[in-house]
């Protein structure tokens, strides 16, 4: 009985994984063959694959410029998230007047979608003179409330006696965060890096609003412009899509161990 459920579970997981991977496989296959996506019956295996659609995507659009813009914005977002979220998470581990209301305010703010605040965000960015700039692109992504709570949860798991011992040794609060809290919170750091990178890398709506020049386009914006200019270019379009997705997937694969550890770190407490 036990082995039957074991096999059944694995078969179910393999089937679900297959369903999840089919779209990715289809995009990669079409990027190598350029076949008509409406062809029937569809070819399951690539016929006459070649990499030249990737060459087309590289040269038909300023891919390197768009890539650089996305890298700059994502880097700024990651660094800002690490600093701001770590400091905010550490503050939330302390007892202070109104802490409960602050947490309530943060949690309730998470329920407000970005689309509802996009007009004031645009007006503030304009008044700061940051329209059409890398800083303006990255500014709304400088901190995410959910990532603050990821740090908070990680810092709460550190024994208070360790912090007390550090204070007795004369460490300031800044050095306690830098020397003790952060080194013991590597899964939380990895989670912050992965999610802030993915969210800023794939962001489309905010760049669409504030970018004015083609030179400042990020990759998702460039992809939509590519689609609108060249409608019947399936191979090049899918190749561009793969080139946009690849860095995010690479970052996740490299840091997934830490990411999963962070997600499950509280699961077996007590």
Partner 1 sequence: MLKTVLLNRATIVLGTLAVAIIVWNIYIAGNDDGILVGTVVDVSGQPVTDAKVVASELSLISRNVIDIQTTDETGQFRFDRHDHHAMVLQATKDGVGNSRRVEVRLYYQNQNKTLSDALVLDPDVKQGPLVSEQSGSN
For partner 1, the binding residues (CB under 8 A) are 50-52, 55-56, 59-60, 230, 233, 236, 250, 254-255
Least CB distance to partner 1 at residue 8 (A) = 34
Least CB distance to partner 1 at residue 92 (A) = 29
Nearest partner of 195 among 149, 130, 128, judged by Cα: 149
Nearest partner of 242 among 12, 5, 29, judged by Cα: 29
- DSSP annotation of 268 reads T
Task: Name which of 56 and 203 has its Cβ closer to partner 1.
Answer: 56
Between CA 3 and CA 1 the distance in angstroms is: 6
Cβ(236)–Cβ(155) below 8 Å: no
Task: Name which of 206 and 226 has its Cβ closer to partner 1.
Answer: 226
Least CB distance to partner 1 at residue 232 (A) = 9
Least CB distance to partner 1 at residue 153 (A) = 24
Give the contacts of 213 (CB within 8 A, at least 6 positions apart).
132
Q: How far is CA 38 from CA 32, 46, 49, 52, 232, in A?
A: 16, 15, 18, 21, 12
Task: Name which of 55 and 260 has its Cβ closer to partner 1.
Answer: 55
Task: Name which of 55 and 104 has its Cβ closer to partner 1.
Answer: 55
Least CB distance to partner 1 at residue 58 (A) = 8
Task: Name which of 223 and 255 has its Cβ closer to partner 1.
Answer: 255
Burial of 97-114, coded b for 16+ CB within 10 Å and e otherwise, reads: eeeeeeeeebeeeeeeee
């Amino acid at each position: 009985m036990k082995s039957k459920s074991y096999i059944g579970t694995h078969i179910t997981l393999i089937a679900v994984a297959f369903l999840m991977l089919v779209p990715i496989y289809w995009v990669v296959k079409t990027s190598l063959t350029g076949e008509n996506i409406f062809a029937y019956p569809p070819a399951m295996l690539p016929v006459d694959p070649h990499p030249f659609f990737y060459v087309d995507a590289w040269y038909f659009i300023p891919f390197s410029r768009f890539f650089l813009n996305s890298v700059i914005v994502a880097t700024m977002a990651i660094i800002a998230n690490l600093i701001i979220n770590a400091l905010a998470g550490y503050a939330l581990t302390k007892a202070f007047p109104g802490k409960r209301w602050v947490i309530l305010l943060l949690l309730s703010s998470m329920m407000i979608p970005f689309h509802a605040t996009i007009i004031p965000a645009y007006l503030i960015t304009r008044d700061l003179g940051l329209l059409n700039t890398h800083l303006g692109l990255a500014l709304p992504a400088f901190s995410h409330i959910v990532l603050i709570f990821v740090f908070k949860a990680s810092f709460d798991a550190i024994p208070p006696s360790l912090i007390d011992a550090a204070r007795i040794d004369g460490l300031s609060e800044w050095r306690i965060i830098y020397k003790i809290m952060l080194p013991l919170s590597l899964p939380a750091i990895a989670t912050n890096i992965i999610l802030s990178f993915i969210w800023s890398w794939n962001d489309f709506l905010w760049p669409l609003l504030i970018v004015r020049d083609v030179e400042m386009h990020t990759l998702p914006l460039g992809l939509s412009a590519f689609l609108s200019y060249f409608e019947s270019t399936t191979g090049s379009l899918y190749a561009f899509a793969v080139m946009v997705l690849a860095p995010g997937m690479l970052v996740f694969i490299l840091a997934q161990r830490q990411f999963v550890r962070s997600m499950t770190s509280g699961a077996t407490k007590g």
